[in-house]
Structure 1
Amino acid sequence: MADRLLDASGLRCPMPLLKTKLELNAMAPGETLEVIATDAGSARDIPAFLALSKHRLIRQTELNGQFRFVIQCGG
């Protein structure tokens, strides 16, 4: 279970990514964030951002149009 949950369901690109960035900026290193999004662009945008950041994508899943990401905040 993640330390924080961000439900970005119903938000269109780029809002799920922007809200994810803001939430991660407010977190301590090592904490985990679970993001829920329904915008298909999130499946591409969030992992691409994380690959260029200090944060780590722990898990990414998709079920019935709902995308879930578990992210560990980097230091």
Structure 2
Amino acid sequence: MTTNDVELDARGLNCPLPILRAKKSISTLTAGQVLKVVATDPGALKDFEAFCKQTGNELLASQEKDGEFSFLIKKSA
């Protein structure tokens, strides 16, 4: 996986909180920086795919391991 500049722990939060927290965290980044989000909400995979499409940010990677979902999101210009 790509290295990240900022990490957001959204474990234990249900929709829409992981997305809202990610939106806030991404707003503090500059273009090209990468946010890593770790979540446990099963809907997070679809939510983050849609979030990236809507915002123009790039979903670099997503993975699930032992009930935890990890996402790497690159902030667009």
The two structures have a TM-score, normalised by structure 2, of 0.93
Q: Structure 2 stretches of 5 or more lacking a match?
A: none
Give me the whole-angstrom Cα distance separating, in 1, the residues matched to 2:48 and 2:56: 13
1:48 — aligned with what?
50
Give me the whole-angstrom Cα distance separating, in 2, the residues matched to 1:18 and 1:41: 14
| 1:61 is aligned to 2:66 | no
Alignment of 1:1-75 (within 5 A): 1-75=3-77
The residue identity in structure 2 corresponding to 1:46 is F
For these two proteins, the number of residue pairs brought into alignment is 75
The residue identity in structure 1 corresponding to 2:63 is T
The residue identity in structure 1 corresponding to 2:21 is K
Give me the whole-angstrom Cα distance separating, in 2, the residues matched to 1:12 and 1:59: 21
Give me the whole-angstrom Cα distance separating, in 1, the residues matched to 2:68 and 2:28: 24
The residue identity in structure 2 corresponding to 1:37 is A
Q: Structure 1 stretches of 5 or more lacking a match?
A: none
Query: 1:42 Cα shift?
Result: 0.8
- Residue identity over aligned pairs, in percent, reads 36
Report the secondary structure of 1:52's partner residue: helix
Query: 1:62 Cα shift?
Result: 0.5
Report the secondary structure of 2:61's partner residue: strand
